[in-house]
Chains A and B, each alone.
Chain A
Amino acid sequence: MNKLPKIQEFKAPEGYFENLPDQIMSGIQPKPNFGWTKWAAAAVLVLGLGFWQFGLFEPKTAELTFEEESELYIESQYWTAEEILSMSEDPNAILDEIIQEELAFTENIWTEEEQTWF
């Protein structure tokens, strides 16, 4: 064991630990509760119902929405997984979502058998 040298630590940027508690605490603080948002939501609902009542909304057209059109391309295998990801603004977020859904092991990585330690 004496053959191995001491491992040098990677240094944190200067001042990092002075600011870290504040950063963490700001991530923990509950978001301010805007009481006015529920009144705004109620107003939008009333206006929406009013427009609907007086027939101010345009009737739906038979055209497909972008989402429906995309699904059609995916289902018909016209677009591949790589193409869809390349079209996305944030492919990493999509991948994270897929991984979260499909890989339950990330919740408790220690439940795996001990053999994996070797």
Chain B
Amino acid sequence: MKTSDQEILTLIQDPLSREMGFRQLIQTYQKKVYHVIRRMVLIHEDADDLTQNTFIKAYHHIDRFQGHSSLFTWLYRIATNEALGFIEKKKKRFFFSIDDYQEKLESYVDQAGNLDGDQIQVKLQKALLKLPEKQRLVFHLKYQEDLTYNQMSEITGTSVGALKASYHHAVKKIELSLTSE
């Protein structure tokens, strides 16, 4: 565990400095947590809600944190759970709704300004959206965040072998998607 994590946890454990410690935890990890969620849900307003939920859950369950992993992998586990649960809920809701969540995300990618009009980025984001959510998450954790498979295994609770295979499939699908268009 990093020293800063230790300092944050020490502050949180003392009732007198608990709030200050938690504020420090938010300031340290807010950008990482926000971006891991934003990559999955794309829309800022959704990412904002889920980021806040992640930290609120962390606050209520911080006493259960054993320190066997880093605070960052523990927070990522909560954040990715929030994001995947949110997407699953949106897809189930589509049963009653006219708007398709997938289409909504694709049109968000198309909107001018969101990706500075970079056509390669638009194609790449659309290729990513075609992946199953968990595979997309594995791809981001490895390709964007450059996490080790062991860290990813801690976050997802999935074996290293399964994660390697998942990442390999994701890369192949993205390459195929980019070359076929």
| Distance, CA A24 to CA B132, complexed state (A) | 31
Please, how many angstroms separate the alpha-carbon atoms of A99 and B59 in the complex? 25
Partner of A117, one of B23, B26, B135: B135
Bound CA span A116–B128, Å: 17
Say whether A4 contacts B171, CB under 8 Å: yes
A65 at the interface (CB under 8 A from B): no
Q: Does B138 contact A (CB under 8 A)?
A: yes
Given A4-B171, A96-B89, decide whether A28 and B59 contact each other with a Cβ distance below 8 A: yes
Q: What is the CA–CA distance of A1 and B44 in the complex, to the nearest angstrom? A: 29
Least CB distance from A8 to B in Å reads 5
Whether the pair A99, B93 counts as a contact (CB closer than 8 A) is: yes
**B11 interface residue (CB < 8 Å to A):** no
Q: Does B157 interact with chain A (Cβ within 8 Å)?
A: yes
Q: Return chain A residues, CB-CB under 8 Å to B26.
A: 20-21, 24-25
Q: Is A34 an interface residue (CB 8 A)?
A: no
A12 engages B38 (CB within 8 Å): yes
Interface residues on A, range: 35 or more
A110 an interface residue at 8 Å Cβ cutoff?
yes
Q: Is residue B88 within 8 Å, beta carbon to beta carbon, of the partner chain?
A: yes
In chain A, positions 84-118 with a C-beta closer than 8 Å to chain B are 85, 91-92, 95-96, 99, 103, 105-106, 108-110, 114, 116-118
Known: A106-B85, A116-B132. A25 touches B92 (CB 8 A): no
Tell me the bound Cα distance from A74 to B120 in angstroms. 51
Q: Does B12 contact A (CB under 8 A)?
A: no
Task: Find chain A residues with CB under 8 A from B124 CB.
Answer: 4-5, 7
Q: Is the CB of A95 within 8 A of B55?
A: no
Can you spell out 5 A-B residue pairs with CB atoms less than 8 angstroms apart?
Answer: A1-B171, A4-B143, A8-B116, A9-B39, A117-B135
